Homo-oligomer: A and B are copies of this chain.
Amino acid sequence: MKPTKIQLSEKDIPTSWYNIMADIDFPMEPPLHPETKEPIGPEALEPIFPMALIGQEVSQERWIEIPEEVRDIYALYRPSPLFRAHRLEAALGTPAKIYYKYEGVSPAGSHKPNTAIAQAYYNKEAGVKRIATETGAGQWGSAISLACNYFDIECMVYMVKVSYEQKPYRRSLMEIWGANVIPSPSDQTEFGRKILAQDPESLGSLGIAISEAMGDAASREDTNYALGSVLNHVMLHQTVIGLETKKQMEIAGDYPDVIIGCCGGGSNLAGLSFPFLADKFAGKDVRVVAAEPKACPTLTEGKCEYDFGDTAGMTPLLKMYTLGHEFVPAGIHAGGLRYHGDSPIISALYEHDLIEAVAVHQNPVFESAVQFARTEGIVPAPESAHAVRVAIDEALEAKKTGEPKTILFGLSGHGHFDLASYDAYLAGKLIDYDYASEES
C-alpha cells in the first residue's frame, strides 16, 4: 500500500497555539476608534469580548497554552488527517507531490470550530451567558452554534436573510445544536429596525448582520460578540491546523515547497501556514499562496489602508487590504470568500512580500473541484476549491518544468451543503465575474 493518509492520535493535538506576532520583524499598525480615529487600547473591546480573548488579540507571546477543556472538545474531530493525493497526482501526470490537510472532519464541516470552541470557552470562563454573531452562508454560524452548545451558552445568530431563505439546511444545523437563528435585517435590533423601515423587503447583507450582532452584544450586559475570522485571536486559534500538519509532513518525510490556502478573511490560510512561516522567518525556503476569487480579489486588487470591518462603519478601523467596506461582491458560490477586507496580519505579511496571492474564476475552480472529487473522493466546499485550483495549477506548472516540488494545500471544508452550486456548474450556468463587474 502506498501511504495515503497520515493520521495522528489525540495525544498529538497541540498543547499551545502559535502566535506569529512574536516572530514578525515589522510593526503592526493599531486599530483606530471608528469615530475619533485615534488608536484604541484593549479596553475598548471589553463590552463585546472577554478579557482573555482581548489579551490574545494583543499578545506578543510566541506560545499560548490551549486549555484542557478546549483540547477535550478538539478531540471529537482533531487531529484532522493529512492526505497524500496519489490519485490526483496520477490524473495530472505531475512530478509534484501533493498533500492536503482536511478540516471537513469537524461536525460543522469546516475549520471554523477550531476558534469557535476556544471563543465559547473563554466567554464561559468570563461568565458570559449569551453570544450574538452573524452568519452569511452559515459556516461560521454553525461552528459557533456547536461551540456554544458545549458550554451551555445561549447562541443568537443573525443570518443574512437571502441565505436564511435559500440555504435552509445550514439553518437546520444551527437549530439542531440549539441556536436561535433569525433572518437579518430583523426587528430585534435598532439597526435592523432602521433598515427595515427604509426597506421592508431588504434581503440583508453580511455588513448589516454584523452591525445587528454587534449592536445586540453591546446593548446587553449578559451578551458578547464573536467573530469567525479577521481578528488576531482567530488566526491564533487556527494554528492547530498547521502545527499538526508539520508533524504529519515530518512523518511523511517531506517538507512543502509551497503552501496554498483559500483566503476570505484569512483564518484558514493563517491556520495552515503560520507555523511554517515560523520556519521561513528562521531562514527556511517556503512559499505561501493565498487563493482568492477574481470576483472579490482583496489582496491582488485591493489597497492596504484603514477601513471598517463592517458595512455600517461600527467596528474599529483596521489597517488591511480592502476593496472598500461598501463593496458588494458578485454572487459567487464561495460565500465565505465574499469579504471586502482581510486579516490585518495576513495583509501585513502580503505587504511585506512574505506571502503571495492568486485570484481565480469560479468556473475553473469548480472544474478542479470535480477533478478532485473524482480522484480523491471528497467533494470540496466552494471556498476550499479555490485552493484546489491553485494547487493543481502549481502541479501542472511542475509538469511543464519537470520540477518535483512538494505542494501542500488546505482543504478547509466539505461541500455537502453547497451541492446546488455544483449543479449550476455541471449545467454550465456559472458566471465568471470580474472584479467591479455588476452582479447579474
Contacts and interface: CB of A to CB of B under 8 A. Distances in A.
A422 B178 CA distance: 12
A10 B7 contact: yes
A187 B423 CA distance: 24
Contacts of A4: 10, 72, 75-76
Interface string A205-248: 00000000000000000000000000000000000000000000
Interface residues of A, number: 48
A101 to B, nearest CB: 15
Give the oligomeric copy count: 2
Interface stretch (A156-164, A331-339, A376-384): A376-384
Among A1, A77, A109: residue with most chain B CB under 10 A: A1
A115 to B, nearest CB: 16
The 3 closest A-B pairs by CB, nearest first: A107-B377, A172-B419, A4-B75
Interface of A: 1-5, 7-11, 13, 68, 71-72, 75-77, 83, 87, 105-107, 109, 146, 149-150, 168-169, 172-173, 175-178, 370, 373-374, 376-379, 416-417, 419-420, 422-423, 426
28 contacts: A1-B11, A1-B71, A3-B10, A5-B10, A5-B76, A7-B7, A7-B10, A76-B376, A87-B150, A106-B377, A107-B378, A107-B379, A109-B416, A146-B377, A168-B420, A168-B423, A169-B416, A169-B419, A172-B422, A172-B423, A175-B422, A175-B423, A175-B426, A176-B370, A176-B379, A176-B422, A178-B374, A416-B416
